[in-house]
């Protein structure tokens, strides 16, 4: 493989700094921003022994107001583990994805679709939460992409109860019913 100079953005790709300011639409105003309770305590259990896994699970837990994240480990299929929100006995299946390597939002679709199939096969369809790290994009870019792109027509709608996109400036979360 031969070396090449760094690639410039393709036509149509907007680096975050070039995103035009725009008033949020009524639809966008309905997006729920997860609680940013940095002091919320998150307890990690299970077999997560790598720092970055704990980091994302902890961040997810903090955004949800605290609780316990239990990694499945060896038996995991489709999801990383279960989150029990503080003060409840619920066990919510959660999948954690880091898609911060892509420069093109359309390339997140195949990963989300793939995970949806894995979650379905694991018997967790309908209840799962997908937490996606997308720190290279601003929330407005992601919101517009979802609204105008294929994610809103995802054939796998009904698999994830909630999709959370952890963007450069804030996080977006939304129930799948809204995305349809």
Partner 1 sequence: MSIDLIVLPCVKGTARWSDIWHQWVQTLGPFRDCLGERPALCRLGSETPIAEQETLQIDGYYHFVLAAPSTLSLGVESNAGNYDEQGVVEDFGRNLSPEAIAGTVDCWRSAGFCYSLTTMGGRGEHEPELFVALGAAVAETCRGHVIVMNDVFDLGIGVYSAQEFGRAAPRF
In the complex, which residues of this chain contact partner 1 (CB under 8 A)? Answer: 1-4, 6-7, 10, 46-50, 52-53, 56-57, 71-74, 76-81, 95-104, 106-107, 109-111, 113-115, 117-118, 121-123, 133
What is the rounded (10 degree) CA torsion for 140, 142, 143, 147?
140
Q: Which is nearer to partner 1, 106 or 126 (CB)?
A: 106
Q: What is the CA radius of gyration of the chain?
A: 17
At closest approach, how far in Å is the CB of 36 from partner 1? 20
Q: Left, alpha or beta for 99 (phi > 0: left; psi -120 to 50: alpha)?
A: alpha
Q: Which is nearer to partner 1, 28 or 158 (CB)?
A: 158
At closest approach, how far in Å is the CB of 27 from partner 1? 26
Q: Which is nearer to partner 1, 87 or 101 (CB)?
A: 101
Quick check: helix, strand or coil at residue 132? Answer: strand
At closest approach, how far in Å is the CB of 43 from partner 1? 15
Q: Which helix (H) or strand (E) holds 164?
A: strand 160-167
Q: Which is nearer to partner 1, 26 or 75 (CB)?
A: 75
CB-CB neighbours of 56 under 10 Å: 20
At closest approach, how far in Å is the CB of 81 from partner 1? 7
Q: Which is nearer to partner 1, 89 or 110 (CB)?
A: 110
Residue 67 near residue 83, CB atoms below 8 Å: yes
At closest approach, how far in Å is the CB of 55 from partner 1? 9
3-state helix vs strand vs coil in the chain, percent to 5: 30, 25, 45
């Amino acid at each position: 493989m031969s070396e090449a100079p760094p690639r410039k953005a393709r036509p149509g790709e907007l680096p975050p700094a070039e995103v035009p300011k725009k008033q949020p639409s009524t639809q966008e105003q309905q997006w729920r921003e997860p609680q940013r309770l940095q002091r919320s305590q998150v307890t990690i259990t299970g077999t997560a022994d790598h720092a970055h896994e704990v980091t994302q699970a902890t961040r997810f837990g903090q955004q949800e107001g605290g609780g316990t994240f239990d990694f499945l480990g060896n038996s995991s299929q489709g999801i990383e583990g279960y989150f029990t929100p503080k003060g409840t006995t619920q066990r919510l299946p959660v999948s954690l994805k880091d898609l911060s390597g892509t420069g093109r939002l359309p390339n997140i679709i195949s990963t989300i679709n793939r995970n949806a199939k894995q979650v379905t096969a694991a018997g967790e369809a309908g209840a799962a939460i997908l937490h996606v790290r997308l720190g290279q994009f601003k929330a407005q870019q992601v919101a517009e992409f979802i609204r105008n792109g294929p994610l809103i027509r995802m054939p796998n709608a009904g698999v994830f109860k909630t999709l959370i996109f952890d963007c450069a400036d804030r996080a977006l979360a939304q129930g799948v019913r809204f995305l349809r």
